[in-house]
Amino acid sequence: MKQKLQLIIILCLSAFYANAQMTPTDYLTGISSPRGLAFDANGILYVAENTSGNIFKVTGPETYTTFASTGSYNNNIAFDDNGNLYTGDDFFGRIFKIDASGNQEEYLNSTNNNVSDPWAIEFDTNGNLYYSSSTSGNIVKVTPSKVSTNYATGFFTPEGMAFDSAGNLYVADRNDQILFKIDPAGTVTTVLSGISEIRAVAVDANDKVYFNQRIGFSTRKIVKYDPVDESQTDIVDSGITGSVSEIAFDANGDMFFTGADKVSKVSNVVALSTTDFSINNTFNIYPNPAKNIINVSNKVASYKIFDLTGKKLIDGYNTTNIVDISSLPNGLYMVSLQDKKGNNTTKKLIKK
């Protein structure tokens, strides 16, 4: 009876917070035109300034150092599975690759790779790079051997992009005011339309989709879209200064987004664990930290492992109570576990 009462209270509180707008707080101020946000495998936030070309490594509120400077016009940023950071320069038509030590190279350019106005950059689970070309209206796929093909075409001004765990790619088309979805077969569908100023899109660990929107002349907000029931919920509807160009989540479910001259944070946006807390103890994983394998309970039916951007890296069914993680780079991950009754929970995993 006590457990049932606790669960009812938790569900009521969850429903309350799910329908309540959240207040952002300043996380990083005094910067100029922040355009890109990304977390590395260790949960460290990186922020790219547009006009200065600077990329900052942010270790806490108002605490940052200059990680690299492209000397160009940075847009959205992303990490590959090897810990390299990528940023697009839409002015000169280039994509830079920066390793963990801050060494950079011009990875793709307009002369050799026909790069045109790259805005957002994303990676799929096979290591292919995707970028949105904001003037050509194309989404371009680039293999690890730098072979480029048009993955989808016919957009007006595609900017922000984000993959969900099923491999669907969501695209924010600013001038068309549309949120699109491209499925793994390349089929493009309209998810939502009439979204003024949409530029940023993100997908959380539960495959909920977030995007920015402007209402009227000055009211800006961030909206959560549920692909299952197609509901929309305002997450932030005040405290946003300037157009939002990127949204990112950390491992704790906190949301970060860019504004005119700062990065803001909204805590506890995503519930990363199940509301059925009675099964949590049956879902232990060990050792943790782990090097090559983790052990899971025989009550676990299936598992999925995500990086901090929400990208699914490993999934499978539990037949041996052992999960091979040797292919993962060192860092912090989220492990989603499901039992035979369909109950779910999420655990943090440190790969060393």
- What tens digit of pLDDT does each residue of 91-103 get? 999 999 999 999 9
Least confident among 45-49, 131-135, 311-315: 311-315
Nearest-5° Cα angle at 236, 6 to 271 = 30
Residue of higher predicted confidence among 147 and 81:
147
Contact 343, 281 (CB under 8 A): no
Q: What is the mean pLDDT of residues 128-133?
A: 97
Q: What is the mean pLDDT of residues 227-253?
A: 92
| Residue located via tokens 């390793």 | 99
Indicate the burial class of 95 (C-beta count within 10 angstroms; 0-12, 13-18, 19 or more).
Answer: buried
At residue 122, the pLDDT reads 96
* Reported confidence tier of residue 1, pLDDT bands at 50, 70, 90: very low
Q: Which residues pair with 256 in a beta bridge?
A: 248, 265
Name the pairing type of β-strands 104-109 and 118-123. Answer: unpaired
* Reported confidence tier of residue 273, pLDDT bands at 50, 70, 90: very low
Give me the amino acid identity at 244. V
Name the pairing type of β-strands 232-236 and 344-351. Answer: unpaired
The highest-confidence range among 5-19, 152-166, 271-285, by mean pLDDT, is: 152-166
Q: Is the pLDDT of residue 88 over 90?
A: yes
Q: What is the mean pLDDT of residues 213-226?
A: 93
DSSP 105: E
Q: How far is 37 from 100, CA to CA, in rounded Å?
A: 16
At residue 341, the pLDDT reads 67
Residue of higher predicted confidence among 6 and 206:
206
Dihedral (Cα; 39, 332, 282, 5), 10-degree rounding: -30
* Reported confidence tier of residue 81, pLDDT bands at 50, 70, 90: confident
If one counts every other C-beta atom within 10 angstroms of the C-beta of residue 99, the result is 13
| pTM across the whole model | 0.76
Q: How far is 68 from 66, CA to CA, in rounded Å?
A: 6
Q: What is the mean pLDDT of residues 78-88?
A: 94
DSSP 290: B
At residue 49, the pLDDT reads 96
Q: Is the pLDDT of residue 210 over 90?
A: yes
Q: Which residues contact 147 (CB under 8 A, 6 or more apart)?
A: none
At residue 296, the pLDDT reads 84
DSSP 122: E
At residue 19, the pLDDT reads 45
Give me the amino acid identity at 252. N
| Token reading at 197 | 């100023």
At residue 170, the pLDDT reads 98
